[in-house]
Amino acid sequence: MFTGIIEEVGSIRELRVGSEGAAMTVACPRLAPAVRIGDSIAVNGVCLTATGVAPDRFTCDISAETLRRSALGRARAGARVNLERALEAGGRLGGHFVQGHVDDVGRFLARTPSGQGFEISFGYPADLARYLVYKGSIAVDGISLTLSGLRPGDFTVSVIPHTLNETTLGALGPGDAVNLEVDILGKYFERYFQLGLFGNAGGTGRITADYLKNQGF
């Protein structure tokens, strides 16, 4: 589990792609000394496991499925990547709960100055529309962001200069692929409805509108 608060922007030192996946080495001089073999690390929002460590880098394996389902399949040596270690029990939750399980790949559309910050827009696949909520959370390349605008096919987030400078957001160009992970709460609510665990006051669902109201929701 992660929070979407980026600890360091590293760079892909080496990427060896084979028929069954890939092995990737990421240079990160600030983060590497704290990484241990077996640790979970979000690389551009993809949860990976450190299989080797050195004073200024770590190595991880990427499955063929992950290469297909995420923007890491388009990654190249030299690319900059957002890095975050797994959340420790009792740690501060500065962003939102991020699993590191990418839902789909979106596209960077535009970055526009707005006051002292920026408005950044992304295109998203139609299948994700039901999970996106105005003022809700989304992880873009592992960065916890809040939707400040939402339209069919694209959404907008507002970022401050610090976020732009301390992540890869400032380096994105039109059409660049980004990993998208929607808020996990939306996926669980959808599943509850599919299983019939929600219902109306006179229905057979175990959780009803009246029940939620009585519980203070």
One fold for 8-85 and 104-184: yes
The residues spanned by each domain of the chain are 8-85, 104-184, 185-217
Q: Does domain 8-85 have CATH number 2.40.30.20?
A: yes
Measured from the Cβ of residue 59, the count of other Cβ atoms closer than 10 Å reads 17
The top-level CATH class assigned to 104-184 is mainly beta
* Beta carbons of 85 and 34 less than 8 angstroms apart: yes
DSSP secondary structure letter of residue 127: G
In tens digits, what is the pLDDT along the chain, a chain of 217 residues? 999 999 999 999 999 998 889 999 999 999 999 999 999 999 999 999 999 999 999 999 999 999 999 999 999 999 999 999 999 888 878 889 999 999 999 999 999 999 999 999 999 999 999 999 999 999 999 999 999 999 999 999 999 999 999 999 999 999 999 999 999 888 877 777 777 766 554 445 566 667 667 766 6
pLDDT attached to residue 201: 46
Measured from the Cβ of residue 134, the count of other Cβ atoms closer than 10 Å reads 11
Residue 29, judged by CB atoms within 10 A of its CB (0-12, 13-18, 19+), counts as exposed
pLDDT attached to residue 8: 98
Measured from the Cβ of residue 97, the count of other Cβ atoms closer than 10 Å reads 16
